[in-house]
């Protein structure tokens, strides 16, 4: 293992110390727990607060999207491990501004258990909490089992939509409803070329033989839908886009938001090669691109690979996705 770190067991906290040093004007931690991160100006009274969380290792998710027009706070655990229910409650209490809190997080077992417990604890504190689960990974389950799918890079757009709605002063039910619409309209699928290395373990968690790729692998190394020889970029995009467009059922004249995302080790040059083919495929289908993001927006440490996300837009979602936001790792307007 070759990584720039000190003690592998203190990897997450060392990272957080650097994060607060770089972004202390907008971010703060609650009490002495570096892993309970909130907007420096939290709570925002009278507005719905948004909280997310999950395992570390996916930067900019979740920490990079806390700020004006997006998340109010988040809690993180060790690498690929859920934060505790007590940590989520700590964040919830700090960000609550009297209008309720919406939890938005990926559909993973440990996260759902701890967030559900935090919801119950918050209720005992008199804080209304509602939940929207992210489940955009089409490779993780068939369409008739879509409720069991994993949440991956599509959560970036879910945070954006929810954050804009809350920033505009919508109530908890309205923010929840439009976030559910965003999730229902979002599909993602990825390809992995090589594994990531967990610092505390010191070796890859899985292997992909030289010259091969795995279509549909999850951001924690969960199995994909097939493994085979590495193919040219256009062929890889075609396989991913076929799956995404088949479910999205967008019509000519419709518009989408696009995210071509690095899983950590794949450089921008390769992402733009992928994006060029995404544009070609959408143009051939008569579908317009309203906004496009290309870069590392939801990573898996140093995993080699990429994912493609499409969010089918209507007028409401378009207005919200255009709303300004200002976070350490994502700014718009």
Clarify whether 58 is annotated catalytic. yes
Rounded Cα gap, residues 115 and 113, in angstroms: 6
Q: Which of 23, 96, 170, 220 is catalytic?
A: 220
Rounded Cα gap, residues 122 and 114, in angstroms: 12
Query: Which distant-in-sequence residues (6+ apart) come within 8 Å of 95 by Cβ?
Result: 38, 39, 42, 43, 44, 49, 50, 51, 72, 73, 101
Q: What is the largest CA-CA distance in the chain?
A: 56
For the chain, the first-to-last Cα distance in angstroms comes to 40
Clarify whether 323 is annotated catalytic. no
Buried b (16+ CB within 10 A) or exposed e, 144-158: eebeebbbbbbbbbb
Q: Which of 58, 96, 170, 312 is catalytic?
A: 58
CB 208 within 8 A of CB 195: yes
Rounded Cα gap, residues 160 and 139, in angstroms: 23
* Residues that are catalytic: 58, 220
């Amino acid at each position: 293992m070759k990584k720039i770190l000190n003690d592998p067991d203190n990897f997450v906290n060392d990272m957080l110390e650097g994060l607060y040093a770089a972004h202390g004007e907008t971010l703060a931690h609650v009490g002495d727990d570096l892993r309970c991160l909130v907007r420096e100006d939290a709570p925002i009274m009278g507005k719905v607060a948004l909280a997310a969380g999950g395992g570390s290792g996916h930067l900019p998710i979740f920490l990079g999207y806390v700020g004006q027009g997006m998340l109010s706070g988040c809690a993180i655990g060790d690498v690929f491990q859920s934060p505790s229910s007590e940590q989520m409650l700590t964040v919830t209490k700090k960000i609550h501004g009297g209008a309720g809190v919406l939890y938005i997080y990926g559909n993973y077992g440990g996260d759902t258990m701890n967030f559900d417990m935090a919801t119950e604890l918050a209720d005992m504190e008199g804080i209304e909490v509602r939940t929207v689960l992210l489940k955009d990974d089409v490779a993780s389950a068939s369409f008739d089992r879509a409720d069991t799918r994993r949440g991956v890079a599509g959560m970036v757009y879910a945070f954006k939509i929810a954050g804009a709605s809350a920033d505009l002063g919508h109530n908890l039910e309205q923010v929840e409803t439009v976030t559910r619409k965003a999730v229902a309209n979002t599909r993602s699928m990825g390809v992995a070329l090589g594994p990531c290395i967990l610092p505390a373990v010191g070796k890859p968690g899985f292997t992909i033989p030289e010259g091969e790729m795995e279509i549909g692998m999850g951001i924690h190394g969960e199995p994909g839908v097939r493994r085979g020889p590495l193919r040219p970029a256009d062929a890889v995009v075609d396989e991913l886009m076929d799956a995404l467009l088949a479910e999205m059922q967008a019509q000519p004249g419709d518009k989408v938001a696009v995210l071509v995302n690095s899983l950590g080790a794949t450089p921008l040059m390769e992402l733009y090669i992928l994006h060029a083919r995404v544009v070609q495929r959408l143009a051939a289908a008569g579908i317009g691109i309203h906004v496009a993001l290309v870069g590392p927006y939801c990573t898996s440490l140093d995993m080699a690979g990429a994912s493609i996300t499409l969010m089918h837009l209507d007028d409401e979602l378009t207005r919200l996705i255009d709303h300004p936001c200002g976070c350490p790792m994502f700014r718009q307007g």
